Amino acid sequence: MSDWLLRASRYFLIGTLFVSLGGHLVVLQTIAWGTMLSDFSRTSSLEEAAKKTFDGEHPCALCKVVEQSKQQEEKKPLLKAVAKMDVTLPAPIFLKSPSGSPVVILVPGYFGIDAEVCLGVLRQPPRGV
């Protein structure tokens, strides 16, 4: 893979995570506060401008847009992954070996000869479940 494609995909991933975590709203709110502080400080003192900016009683248009976006995100239901798993369990089948002939099973951890062999065969679950 080329270097620029790898770098572009990383930036895309970082941007996607940033937006999915609500980082764009934080940036917009910061810009709105900076603009409001600048506008209010033209007509009054810096202390008064800071009070007006952060008291919540004098929101600007951008602050209202950010608030609406936050409310819409809260209303969205979280993605619920509901997956139904069909589990098939092995049904034991016992086979008798002919007498006198050894049974060799190549399974890690099995080091013996036995008269019966248990094989797991997949069986479908009942239809009524």
Could you read off the pLDDT of 103-128 as tens digits, one per residue? Answer: 555 544 444 555 455 555 555 666 66
**Strand ranges (E), the chain:** 90-96, 116-122
Could you read off the pLDDT of 12-60 as tens digits, one per residue? Answer: 999 999 988 888 899 999 999 999 999 999 999 999 999 999 998 989 9
In-domain check, residue 65: yes
d(CA 25, CA 70): 8
Q: Which domain holds residue 24?
A: 3-75
d(CA 49, CA 88): 68
In-domain check, residue 29: yes
Task: Give how many domains the chain has, as a whole number.
Answer: 1
In-domain check, residue 40: yes
Q: Is the pLDDT of residue 97 over 80?
A: no
